[in-house]
Amino acid sequence: MSDGGRYDLAVIGGGPGGYVAALRARQLDCSVALIEEREVGGTCLNRGCIPSKALLYAAHVLDTCEGASRFGVVVGEPTVDVARLRRHTQRAVKQLVSGVETLLSQAGVDLWPGHGSFMSEHEIAVSSDDGEARLEAEQVVVATGSVPVVGVIEGTDSEHVWTSDDAVAVPRIPESMVVIGSGATGMELAAAYLHFGADVTVMELFDRPLPREDQDASEVVMRTFQRRGGRFEVNAHVRRIEDTGDIRRVIFERDGEERQIEGDVVLLAIGRRANLAGLRGEEIGLEIQRQGICVQEGVSTPASEPGRPAEPMCPGAQLKTSLDHVYAIGDCIRGIGLAHLAMHEGVAAVEDSQGLESSINYNAVPTAMYCHPEIASVGLLEYRARELGIDIEVGTFPFAANGRAVCTGKREGFAKLIADPHTGKLLGATVCGTYTTEMIAELTLAIEQGLSAEAIIEVIHAHPTLSESIHEAALSVYGRPLHIPFA
C-alpha cells in the first residue's frame, strides 16, 4: 500500500461528468486526483455515445448509397465490411479518448488508474493490478456512471444475448436480432443493425415504441422503421429467453397469452443502473436509494423523468450528498442520464465546492436521440402537459413543406413548439427528422432564457434550412404559419 498524497478534490469516475469536473477544478487552481477504473471518457466515449453514433453514421452512408439513384447518381450495390466498420468506430473512440487524456495531462490532473472506494469520509483507496494506494481529499465528486441492466430476465447469461456494450463492438451482423426495449439505446442500435442487413424486431412493454418521447415523433420513427422492414411487438412483457443452441427464443406475454419470437441474437436494452459496486459509500454515511446516490431534493427526479416540469434553477449545492464535502453527478444519482447533463453537473458541483455560485436549469436540458429519423427535445412534452393538465398552445410544421427537406429527400418529421397560451412563453419543443439533433440548441437557448414564440418569429432563419421549420412552428403557435394552407 502506498501513500497517494492529499488533494483539494478527488473525482471518482473519469466519464464525461468526471473528467469535466476535474478540468474545471484545475481552472480554479485546485489540486485534483481523477480515479478511473477503465478508460477515461467512461461509457460515453468508449462504449456508448461515440461508437454508437459512428455506427449510425455508417448506416446513414449505406442508406444514402442505396437511395442514390433517385437523385440521378448511379452506384453499385453497397455491402457492409464488418472489419472496416469496426475499425471506423475504434478510430473515432481512440481519437477522442486520446484527446481527453491530453487535456487532463496538460491541465495537471493526476490520473489514478484503478477502482476507487471510500475508506473514510476523506480517504479513498485506489485498487489496481499494481496494488493499492490511498489518497486524501478535502472535497469529493462521485461520477461513477452506470452499467447496463442485466439479470432481471431469465436466460440472459447466453453469449448470444448482447448488451449495448457488445452491440457497439460489432462482433458480427446477425441474420436476425430481437431488441428488448425501445428507448434511446434500443432504437438507435436497432436502426443501425437493420440498415446493416439484420432482420430486427423491437419489443416494448408499453403500447408504443419510444414511450417517453413525444408521441408524434414516436409514430414517425415507427413508420420509418417498419418501411425498412423492421417490426415491433408492443405491450410485450418478456418472461424469459431460451437458448436452443441454434436460435434464441424470447418468451413474452401479451393480453394474458404467452407468445414467442425467435432471433439469432437478443439485444438487452432495458435500461441502465447506477454503478456503485465497491464504492463503499454507505459505510461512510452516503444515503443511497434504488435509483442511486441521494442528493439534495430537486435534482434526480426531474432529470430522470423527461418532459416533466422541474424547479427552474437548481444551485450546485443541491448536488451535495448526505455528506457536505461529497457531491454526486450524472448517472450515479439517477441510474440513467445524459452525458451533457453530467458535464454541466460536474462544473456546478466543483464551483459550489469552491464557494462559487452555480446553477442548472433542469427545464432546459435537451435530449438527442439518433434513431432513424432523429428526435431531439427540450422542456415540456405535449403528452406530459396533457397528463398533468397544463394549458398549452401547440405549433407544428411538417418537414414535407420545408425546402431543404424536399431537396434532400428527407421529408419525414416535423418541428413542434409548446407554449403558454396566455404569454406565448416557450415551455418545450420537439424536432424529429434527419439531423434534427443539430437543431435543438436554438430551442434550448430560448427556453433557458425564458423567451416567447414571438421571439423565435423575430429571428431571421436562413433559407433554405431545416431550421426554418422552427420559425414556421412558432408562427403556428399564433395560428399564422406562412407555408402551410390556411385552415
Express the helix, strand and coil content of the chain in percent, nearest 5 each.
Answer: 35, 25, 40
Degrees, nearest 5: CA angle 197-199-201: 135
Distance (Å, whole) CA 193 – CA 167:
9
Distance (Å, whole) CA 173 – CA 403:
36
Residue 353 C-alpha cell reads as 465546492
Out of 60, 325, 463, 471, which one is annotated catalytic? 463
pLDDT in tens, 175-198: 999 999 999 999 999 999 999 999
pLDDT beyond 70 at 329: yes
pLDDT at 336: 80
pLDDT beyond 80 at 245: yes
pLDDT in tens, 251-310: 999 999 999 999 999 999 998 999 999 999 999 999 998 889 999 855 544 444 555 555
Q: pTM to 2 decimals?
A: 0.92
pLDDT in tens, 112-158: 999 999 999 999 999 998 889 999 999 999 999 999 888 789 999 89
* Average pLDDT over the chain, rounded to an integer: 92
For 152, phi then psi, to 5°, come to -85, -10
pLDDT at 303: 43
pLDDT at 341: 95
pLDDT at 2: 63
Output DSSP code: residue 285: T
For residue 421, which of 383, 388, 390 has the smallest C-alpha distance?
A: 390
pLDDT band for 60, please (50, 70, 90 cuts).
very high
Helix runs in 395-465, H state only: 403-408, 440-448, 453-457
pLDDT at 275: 93
88 flagged as catalytic: no
pLDDT at 3: 72
pLDDT at 302: 42
Distance (Å, whole) CA 158 – CA 151:
11
Q: Could you give all domains of the chain from N- to C-terminal order, each with its CATH number?
A: 2-148+273-360 (3.50.50.60), 161-270 (3.50.50.60), 373-477 (3.30.390.30)
For residue 53, which of 372, 340, 432 has the smallest C-alpha distance?
A: 372
pLDDT in tens, 86-113: 999 999 999 999 999 999 999 999 999 9
